[in-house]
A and B are shown apart, each in its own frame.
Chain A
């Protein structure tokens, strides 16, 4: 008795949120060589920004002036969340944008103290930044301090059937995941992506080729942190709640394991890593169902295996399951090689687009150019 739809609905959002995080980390560590051990900080910023924005807008739209973390606000939100579909959707989109901007800005600012130091210091600094943020958020009253927020309006709260509501959310996360993936692929397979890889290989040599290394690093932290912020916002809309204690460093390490296992410097690999980990997580839970009273909790064994796998992968297959590929730009065409894997897909989309356009023009009675 395995209900595939309900499994998809419950598994996919969390998977795709982690996949987005893994993609961000992959851009940072896989392409640029920046050891971001504080990923969770930007994830948290996105989450809080989304929670704060959506609650505030909703309550003020309906003319309530409760503090957004109060019990009244939570109960009110339960009543008003499903009333105005357009507001839900627009607040959702606005929150995603704001989450991107604020988290990105935080990433950009954090890059400053770390521009001159190596990966070890960068790692510790951002790791500390994450912890600092968590302690700070516990005191930050506007987002409820240690209470956190509850009752954040689901973008599809107006759909009465929970299954459809969640399916819609799955579609939204899928679309965002695909968009993020395409954006990062475009970025990676461009002269910019080449510059990123040169920084990873040898910062100094890259600098000597005129690449503004610190600026590129800061830019990349902006983009990757911003996208992690989007992941945080999605997480908040999925859970409907946010609290500072959700964003512990363990989350960062989990995402790291995904990227290492899947393949550094390969966006498909990052997604594959997220896939493996999220499925493994569910699979170990099932072990508990089969063997009811184990001497050692399967979770411990799963983590021990994860630890060993990381080491084995680094030793025998340092590039991960899916190895890194060359930067596919048009330059390869000059040497008679196909430049992009997904060129064919783009071509197909273009053809389809052309036909659709033609059909549309035919329908509305206009001449196609």
Chain B
């Protein structure tokens, strides 16, 4: 529990003249739920993009389980165990729920060009994954939805499917970008309940950007606050909530 699963060291990133991130350092502890908050445009999404390989930091480095990962491509980062979700869920609209979920497990044997036409090579793995998907759908109470096209799913279901990607992908760390945006408060709460349930049962680590601070603070262990690309404050939810700098930033930002 002591060694951090993710370590961001002195990361800076600028776009043209705008400094999106400036000397940001933070750690996410294994098995924790860590929050990342900050006003709009404070660099939260940029930080996620740096971690998941979309941007290469101008300076600084990112370590995952002691391995340096900045400079890896996004797919490589997924394959070492970091999954991410998007603020606006990016499901594959015209594919069914089943297909969407079947895409998540990493390193599938049948995803190689040479093995794909040989059914024998991948059929067992495929059945195993499908079983897992079936159980997961049951858990979500969406048994019948496997046949539905993703673009016709309801908002809550979309969030569920999006979150399930990390579980199916056997990710160690899941980055959630505003998981409750656009869903009802109660659904959001049940989502967070599910997240903390997963943390306990599946030993997953979560790193969450969230705007609904009240909701977030009920579940997280540790919170980082970004403001204007800089780390403003950090600590347990209680500490952060009482930090005058944070209050000022939020009022100033709003």
Closest residue to B84 on the A side, CB-wise? A208
| B96 CB → nearest A CB, Å | 6
Residue-wise, chain B 41-59 has the 8 Å CB interface mask toward A (1 for contact) of 0000000000010000000
Contact between A210 and B106, CB atoms less than 8 A apart: yes
Q: With A205-B86, A207-B75, A208-B52 as given contacts, are A191 and B116 in contact (CB-CB < 8 Å)? A: yes
A190-221: contact bitstring with B at CB < 8 Å (1 yes, 0 no)? 11111101100110111111111100100110
Query: Quick check: A211 and B75 within 8 Å, CB to CB?
Result: yes
Q: Judge whether A281 is part of the interface by a CB distance below 8 angstroms.
A: no
Given the interface pairs A197-B99, A210-B75, A211-B75, the reply to whether A223 lies near B127 with Cβ below 8 Å is no
Give the distance to chain B from A107, nearest Cβ to Cβ, in Å: 13
- By beta carbon, the residue of chain A nearest B125 is A191
| Cβ–Cβ contact A192 & B102, under 8 A | no
- Contacting residues of chain A (136-188) with chain B, CB-CB under 8 angstroms: 183, 186-187
A192 touches which of B73, B112, B127 (Cβ 8 Å)? B112
With A191-B126, A193-B116, A330-B123 as contacts: A335 and B146 at CB distance below 8 Å = yes
Q: Is A131 an interface residue (CB 8 A)?
A: no
User: CB distance A192 to B113 under 8 Å?
Assistant: yes
- On chain B, the residues within 8 Å of A183 by CB distance are 117
CB–CB A195/B98 < 8 A? no
B75 near A212 with CB under 8 A, answer yes
Question: Is A233 an interface position by the 8 A CB rule?
Answer: no
Contact for B78 among A192, A209, A326, A333, CB less than 8 A: A209
Pick from B93, B109, B110, B134: contact of A201, CB below 8 A.
B93
Say yes or no: A190-B117 contact (C-beta < 8 A), given A207-B75, A211-B111, A331-B98.
yes
Query: How far is A362 from B220 in the complex, measured between Cα atoms in Å?
Result: 73
Which B residues are in CB contact (< 8 Å) with A220?
113
Contacts of A206 in B (CB 8 A): 92, 103
Interface size of B by CB at 8 A reads: 47
Tell me the interface secondary structure of chain A in the complex: helix
Bound Cα distance A191, B83 (Å): 20
Contact B103 A195 (CB under 8 A): yes
Q: A193-B116, A335-B146 are in contact. Are A213 and B127 (CB under 8 A)?
A: no
Q: For chain A residues 313-355, which have a beta carbon within 8 Å of chain B?
A: 324, 326-327, 329-335
Bound form: Cα–Cα A118–B129 in Å: 32
Beta-carbon contact of B106 and A334 below 8 Å: no
Give complex CA distance A202, B126 in Å. 22
Contacts of B117 in A (CB 8 A): 183, 186-187, 190
Question: Are A330 and B126 neighbours in the complex by a CB distance under 8 Å?
Answer: yes
Tell me whether B94 and A201 are in contact (CB under 8 A). yes
Given A186-B117, A210-B78, check contact A191 B134 (CB 8 Å): no
- Report chain B residues within 8 Å CB of A201: 92-95
Residues on the B chain within 8 Å of A324, using CB: 94
The answer to whether B79 touches A210 (Cβ under 8 A) is yes
Query: Which residue of A has the minimal Cβ distance to B108?
Result: A191
Q: Report yes or no: B133 in contact with A331, Cβ–Cβ below 8 A.
A: yes
Which of B110, B119, B169 lies in contact with A209, CB distance below 8 A?
B169
Give CA–CA (A205, B93) in the complex, Å: 11
Alpha-carbon separation in the docked complex, A195 to B116 (Å)? 11
Q: A-side interface residues toward B, CB under 8 Å?
A: 183, 186-187, 190-195, 197-198, 201-202, 204-213, 216, 219-220, 223, 324, 326-327, 329-335
18 A/B residue pairs, CB under 8 Å, sorted by A: A192-B110, A194-B99, A194-B102, A198-B95, A201-B92, A201-B94, A205-B91, A208-B52, A208-B86, A210-B107, A211-B103, A212-B75, A326-B95, A326-B99, A330-B126, A330-B130, A331-B133, A334-B134
| Interface residue ranges, B against A (CB under 8 Å) | 52, 73-76, 78-79, 83-84, 86, 90-96, 98-99, 102-104, 106-113, 115-117, 119, 122-123, 126-127, 129-131, 133-134, 146-147, 165, 169
